[in-house]
């Protein structure tokens, strides 16, 4: 068998700066705090709302889900398969989903604001955005989804001004120890 040559394409300077260079960390700090604040505000509102986590937990989610299910037949804003999922899985478990959404939004917000497990927090935030979008709700979801995707792409530097700067190194990252070159670029040694 013939040995295949590996080809490595150099990264363009813009994406290298944005997603791998700690000098871009200030940009991601602003994005992180903005997205995190929106999630935290939304979640705190729900945590202290009786229809989300109180004695009437699940009432708000039930109303939201019924509205989304209705959209499937009236406006086609919700796909049929997703309406079936909402009707047969989510609606019967509205109380559980109510707690998951309320506390999930708070945890995503806190994780992004303090920069702890930034990519994981952004991932779970984006999953909620996708669920809301599939349910026919636009509002801030497209914007938050886009910013969350960018935060996930920038995971190596997005939490630099946060707890990730120390936590990820303590936990051990896939690339090993970080060493600096004279050219002021960072190289990852295995």
Q: Structure tokens of 110?
A: 């806190």
Q: What is this structure's pTM?
A: 0.86
Place 190 in a pLDDT band, splitting at 50, 70 and 90: very low
pLDDT tens sequence across 16-70: 999 999 999 999 999 999 999 999 999 999 999 999 999 999 999 999 999 999 9
Average of per-residue pLDDT across 142-162: 96
Cβ count near 106 (within 10 Å): 19
What are the tens digits of pLDDT across the range 66-109? 999 999 999 989 999 999 999 999 999 999 999 999 999 999 99
What is the CA angle 173-174-175, rounded to 5? 95
Q: What's the length of the chain?
A: 190
Distance CA 177, CA 188 (A): 6
38 and 108 in contact (C-beta within 8 Å)?
Answer: no
């Amino acid at each position: 068998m013939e040995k295949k040559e590996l080809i490595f394409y150099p990264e363009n300077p813009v994406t290298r700066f944005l997603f791998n260079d700690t000098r871009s960390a200030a940009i991601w700090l602003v994005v992180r705090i903005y997205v995190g604040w929106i999630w935290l505000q939304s979640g705190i509102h729900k945590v202290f709302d009786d229809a989300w986590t109180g004695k009437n937990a699940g009432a708000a989610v039930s109303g939201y889900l019924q509205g989304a299910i209705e959209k499937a037949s009236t406006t086609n804003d919700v796909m049929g398969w997703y309406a079936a999922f909402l009707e047969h899985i989510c609606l019967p478990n509205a109380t559980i989903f109510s707690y998951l959404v309320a506390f999930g939004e708070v945890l995503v917000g806190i994780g992004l604001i303090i920069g702890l497990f930034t990519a994981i927090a952004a991932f779970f935030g984006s999953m909620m955005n996708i669920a809301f979008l599939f349910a026919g709700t636009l509002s801030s979801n497209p914007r938050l989804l886009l910013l969350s995707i960018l935060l996930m792409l920038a995971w190596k530097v997005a939490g630099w001004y946060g707890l990730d700067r120390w936590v990820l190194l303590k936990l051990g990252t896939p690339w090993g120890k970080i060493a600096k070159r004279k050219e002021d670029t960072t190289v990852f040694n295995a």
